[in-house]
Each structure stands twice: as structure tokens, then as C-alpha cells.
A and B are shown apart, each in its own frame.
Chain A
């Protein structure tokens, strides 16, 4: 009887394990099936590097370069803001902060991670967007910069918590060794601890960026959604994710537009996958 119970439980767990892989494969196949159909209408090169996205004109123009550039610009901006602050915060928490402040900061970071992105987008819309508009004297504050700033808040919790983990797990003997050689606290951090934790910190950055690229709601609300090639970070942009979210509802099933949106999904999938694999490589290098 006991053996039978074991058997059942074992098989149940096996099914759970296989199910997750099975569904991922199914989703991926569906994405491929729907998305690749677009290449009957437009070649892969013209799709990726075409400069105009007019999916419902006749004939439709399905070039996603403006969207790719929009995503990259917002992500790059968010990375430039969140990496220094995030890594700095991780160093402060791991090395400098007194115990009490450390606890408060860690709780704060977790809270930041818990804010739903639509709320961040909403807050950005009513606070940040007018500020950006006034500071730079723009016709609209719905710009790539606004998106970058709000997304930096989303990347930061990931970067801080993983980078802090990486710093914390460095053997204490490195720190002692450096201090015992007369290095100051900062020299110890800069010359020994950061290099020792570098792979973990890079992984933290990659995962933070991965989160930014895949983010939809906040960017849709505050980047202006203009599908044109941006000429500066102060221009409105439309990202890959926002395009799918905004247009999927109105695209006719089976139309070129519909297939093109799935193809954008494939592009996003490939980008996220590449980022996650890179992060994984860094993490494994560490061990």
C-alpha cells in the first residue's frame, strides 16, 4: 500500500514537471506558426528593418524598426539610470549600511518590486510626465525618457536584490585579506569585492534589463506610442510590447496585421531568451 502511494506521488510529480515543459513548447510552437506566416507577405529583412509601421493601410507596411528602436531606447535609458543606482544600492546594503538601515532598505526594495506596473505607469503619467514636459519645454511629456525613468524603478529591485546576494556570498576571507593588507574599505570593495562578485552583478543587470524589455503596461501608458523612428530620448516612442498589447484587440484574426503582431512576439521572445541565457551563463560562471 505504501509502495503504491509512493508510486502515485512520484508519477504525479513527474506529470507536473513534464507539463511545464509541454506548455512552453506548445506556446512556442503556436507563436512560431502564427508569427512565421507574416514572412509570406514581407521578407524577414524588410520586416526587421523596414522603417514604417502602418499595419492597416493598403497595402500594409510592416516594418518594425521603429518599434525595435523604441524598445531599445527605452531599455537603454532605463539601464543607464538603474544600473548605477541599483549596484550602488546593493553595495550600500551589503557593505556599508548599519544593520537597522539595511533591514529597512531591503524591505523597501521588496515593496518597490511589489508595485504593479500599471500603478507605476499611472503614477508616472500624473507626476513624471508633466515634469518632463515642463523641464524640457516639450509639446508632450509622453516620451522615451519618461518610460526609461519609470522602468528604471522596475529594474532596480531585481538588480539590487541579486547584486546584493552576489556581494554577500563572497567569502569573507577576501575582505579580511584586503583589509589586512592596509586597503581602505572602499578600496576593498572596488578592487576585490566587485571583481569577485562581477559575474553575479552582471547576471543581476541582465535580469533587470530582461524585466524592462518585457514590460508592457507602464511603457504603453507613458511613452506616447508613436510608431516613428525616435530622433532623441525626448521623443515619443512605441515599444514592441506596447504595440502587441495595443493592437492585438483590433487586429482581424488571420490578417497580415495579426501575423505581424505574432512575429513581434517572436522577436521579443528571442531577445528575452538571449538575455536570460546570458544571465544564466554569468551565474554559472560564478559557481
Chain B
């Protein structure tokens, strides 16, 4: 069963329609890439899945978005539970101005679970190990997270989500501030994580989509033009517009 699916999803910023009848489904344990030129609505769609668009005024959404079969657009949706399950990695790494340790246990502290010290220590070790930072940082846990390199910061932000046991990782251009080596290492990490997570990555870097994803969706002007296996999209696109985009005719 699809982890996340949308039915006739429409979204307006004021009078501007940013998403147009989007129907898509995202499978667990796969990486799905959303590609498209700037302003096509790919980040907007990602932000529907954890209701981050709620922060913006004048946004109207219609249609259905099912996460584990439950519609999350309803007024009665439990946002805290949703955002715990559907974690987000932002374009610019955004660790809090707290220690590395406190960054990772932030989720547990706000959800008031496991507040016993030894449990927290375990969480920190487990999360940092899964993002391959433990060996580098185990002696620096009390240091401010703002002193880390960009790549380490981004890994830390991913570790933060692992600590709250998210099922879904929404990644909004997670490598756009990183150099090519760091990008390659984050992509490697994504491949490792996909065994336990549903990963959706928004990227304007087509090579990245081709390298890392299993499925790809191509968006243009708010419309999901084509959605399918990455290999098929990149070798035999069905829609002319997709073909034009991936061959670099615009974008």
C-alpha cells in the first residue's frame, strides 16, 4: 500500500493556483524524486505532506492527501503526530542553536517520551550512528551544533528525524548548499536509509534524481505531468514536455 497518496490535490496561494489536480502515490522503502523547473510547485507539494504550508497565510488546499490511509488535510488532523511521522529536511541545514546532543533529543523532549537520561543517550548514539556521524562527534556532543560543517549539519538534521522515529523523510533540495563530495555522501546515506523509510526528495538537479531515486515525478506549472519509474522517465518519457525538460530544452 502506498505510504502517501494524493487525490485531486489543488492548492492556491491567494488567487494563484500552485498545485493543479495532483494525483500521485509514494511507495514505502523507495526514493521518489520530484523534479521540475523553479516555481513548478514541487516544494509546495512537499510542504503539503507535513502541513508546513499552514504557516503561510491565505493558503487554500482542496482534495485528499492520505498518509497511511488517513486524510491529513482535515481540520481534525493531529499535526503533532503527523509531523513526527513525516519529517522534513530543509534546503539550508537548520540545526537549532543548541548543543549537538540537544538537537537530537529535541523531538523526544517535545514529545515527552523517554526523558530518562540513559534513554536519551541511547537515542543520540543510535541516531548519529545511522547518519554516520557518531565516530566524528561522539566526543563533541556538548558543542554547539552551529559549529559543524554544512554537511555535518545536514546529517544532524536527518539524525534529528531518525530520533523521533519518522517513517517518511521529505527532503527539500537537501544538497543544494553542499559541495559535490558532500552531496555524494548524503546520497549514499539516502540509499542506506531507504530500507527503513519512505523518502521523497525535491530537486532541480536532474542528475541527482537519476542517480538516487527509484521513482520520479515531473512537475510543470503546478501540474504533475508524468510520474513513473525513474529509468523510464529518463530513457523513455511519455510526455513531450518531460522529454523537453530532461533533454535540457528549458528549465
A191 touches B106 (CB 8 A): yes
B241 CB–A CB distance under 8 Å:
no
The number of A-B residue pairs with CB atoms under 8 Å apart is: 67
A196 touches B111 (CB 8 A): no
Q: In the complex, which of the residues B109, B110, B111, B160 has the most CB atoms of chain A within 10 Å of its own CB atom?
A: B110
Which residues of chain A are near B160, meaning CB under 8 Å?
A: 181
Nearest CB in chain B: distance from A191 CB, A: 7
A181 touches B98 (CB 8 A): no
Name the contact of B110 in the complex, choosing from A173, A183, A195, A196 (C-beta under 8 A): A183
B220 CB–A CB distance under 8 Å:
no
B157 CB–A CB distance under 8 Å:
yes
B164 touches A181 (CB 8 A): yes
Q: Give chain A interface residues in 151-174, CB to chain B under 8 Å.
A: 171, 173-174
A176 CB–B CB distance under 8 Å:
yes
Which residues of chain A are near B79, meaning CB under 8 Å?
A: 182
A191 touches B109 (CB 8 A): yes
Name the contact of A195 in the complex, choosing from B97, B109, B161 (C-beta under 8 A): B97
Interface size on B, residues (CB 8 A): 27
Q: Give chain B interface residues in 35-61, CB to chain A under 8 Å.
A: 50, 52, 55
Interface of B is mostly: helix
B81 touches A178 (CB 8 A): no
A181 touches B110 (CB 8 A): yes
Nearest chain B residue, comparing its CB with the CB of A173: B94
Which residues of chain B are near A179, meaning CB under 8 Å?
A: 52, 55, 83
Which residues of chain A are near B80, meaning CB under 8 Å?
A: 182-184
Nearest CB in chain A: distance from B189 CB, A: 19
Name the contact of A180 in the complex, choosing from B52, B97, B109 (C-beta under 8 A): B52
A182 touches B84 (CB 8 A): yes
Which residues of chain B are near A180, meaning CB under 8 Å?
A: 50, 52, 83, 87-88, 90
**Binary B-proximity of A135-160 (CB < 8 A = 1, otherwise 0):** 00000000000000000000000000
Name the contact of B90 in the complex, choosing from A177, A182, A183, A187 (C-beta under 8 A): A177
Nearest CB in chain B: distance from A195 CB, A: 6
A178 touches B96 (CB 8 A): yes
B237 CB–A CB distance under 8 Å:
no
Known interface pairs A183-B110, A191-B109; A176-B97 also in contact (CB < 8 Å) = no
Q: Report the Cα distance A187→B161, complex, angstroms.
A: 17
Nearest CB in chain B: distance from A54 CB, A: 54
Q: Give chain B interface residues in 71-117, CB to chain A under 8 Å.
A: 79-84, 87-88, 90, 92, 94-98, 106-107, 109-111
Which residues of chain B are near A184, meaning CB under 8 Å?
A: 80, 110
Name the contact of B97 in the complex, choosing from A174, A181, A182 (C-beta under 8 A): A174
A192 CB–B CB distance under 8 Å:
yes
Extra 12 A-B pairs, beta carbons < 8 Å, given A180-B52, A181-B110, A182-B164: A174-B97, A176-B94, A177-B90, A177-B96, A179-B52, A180-B83, A180-B88, A181-B106, A181-B161, A182-B79, A187-B110, A195-B97
Binding site for B on A (CB under 8 A): 171, 173-184, 187, 191-192, 195-196
